[in-house]
Amino acid sequence: MDRYTKGFVLASLVYLMAAGALGALTRGAPSPEWVKFAHVHFNLAGFMSMMVYGVGYFILPRFNGTTLKFPGLVPVHFWLANVGLIGMVSTYRSDFPPAFHAFAATSVLANAVFVVNLVATMLFKDAEPEEEAETPVAGTSGPAAPQGLASSDAPVALSPDIRVGELITRWPHAADALVAAGLAGLADPAHREQIKSIPVTVRMACQRHNLDLGPTMQRLSEATGLPIVAAGPSPTAASAPPPIAGRTAVTVTATVRRGAPIGADAILGDILAVYPETEKVFRKHFGGGCFTCPGQKTETVRQSALLHNLDMKAVLADLNRAAGH
């Protein structure tokens, strides 16, 4: 969370304590009317509203798959909301009513800033930046193949770590094999389209649905006509299985290939496995918790940059620089 998003949450907790203390006063001896006013407004405009502001700024853009439209307005909103609330409480029943009205208008303006920012964020998403074409892997010709797949004219061998989305995109009938194996959700065409954008591998899908990986892989092999190979820690040449007669086996194990640039849709765990030298970059941008977080098995660079409010291009540049590209 950035400074002001976190500030809203912390401020809400301070107002909660203040409201509780004032509420205790109203239970004892008769208290001035401003105490009741402050108790109510510290609860509603302080605790509840500030918590909604902080959580809303952090969660809603991510649920919408985008970034906040006007991040520069968050500090403005923070100060307007706090000055307006404290000003209203301070000038309530004062001898100068226009001051109270001015602070009340400030609070209304703060609400308007929040509404405009989030409405714009949810309705007007920024266009996806065009990524530069990846450099072909040494020994190949033409543009690089999609991550996790071999080039279109080269036969491949199935691995448990091939992404489900890439599998059913290349071999649509493989979805029927997965449905027969127990992944009933893939029977829905809408779910099939959704899974194509999620970095879930066959191994992960089997683990999540308590399916036996062996029979599932066998069904996929029968459906696609491809041999099965065991997945290693990284798709390097050293871990590739021996070629099968009449067929060149290419292990499809991850979203990163040694010697190829790291793309925005590369999974964090795959990057660390193939390029261990990028560890310092992850510590710089994500901290030490990245190495124990289960999300590294499924999150891409694009997703993680969005979740951590980071510049994706800057993260990719650092990763590729550490990987020697």
The 10s digit of each residue's pLDDT in 124-156 is: 865 554 444 444 433 333 334 444 444 444 346
Q: Which CATH superfamily is domain 258-325 in?
A: SP0561-like (1.10.3910.10)
Domain range summary for the chain, segments of one domain joined by +: 3-123, 145-254, 258-325
42-46, 170-174, 206-210, 301-305 — which is least confidently predicted? 206-210
Distance CA 64, CA 61 (A): 5
Asked if residues 150 and 156 have their Cβ atoms less than 8 Å apart, the reply is yes
Distance CA 199, CA 299 (A): 7
pLDDT band at 244 (very low <50, low <70, confident <90, very high): very low
pLDDT band at 247 (very low <50, low <70, confident <90, very high): very low
Q: Which residue has the tokens 């290419």?
A: 250
9-13, 74-78, 106-110, 196-200 — which is least confidently predicted? 196-200
Q: Which CATH superfamily is domain 145-254 in?
A: SP0561-like (1.10.3910.10)
Q: Write the Ramachandran bin of 225: left for phi over 0, alpha for psi from -120 to 50, otherwise beta.
A: left
Please list the alpha-helical segments (H only) found in 42-72. 49-63
At residue 272, does pLDDT exceed 60? yes
Domains 145-254 and 258-325 fall in the same CATH topology: yes
Asked if residues 255 and 267 have their Cβ atoms less than 8 Å apart, the reply is yes
Residue-level pLDDT at 14: 96
- Proportion of the chain in helix, strand, coil states, percent, rounded to 5: 60, 5, 40
pLDDT band at 118 (very low <50, low <70, confident <90, very high): very high
Distance CA 79, CA 11 (A): 11
Structure tokens at 165: 């989305």
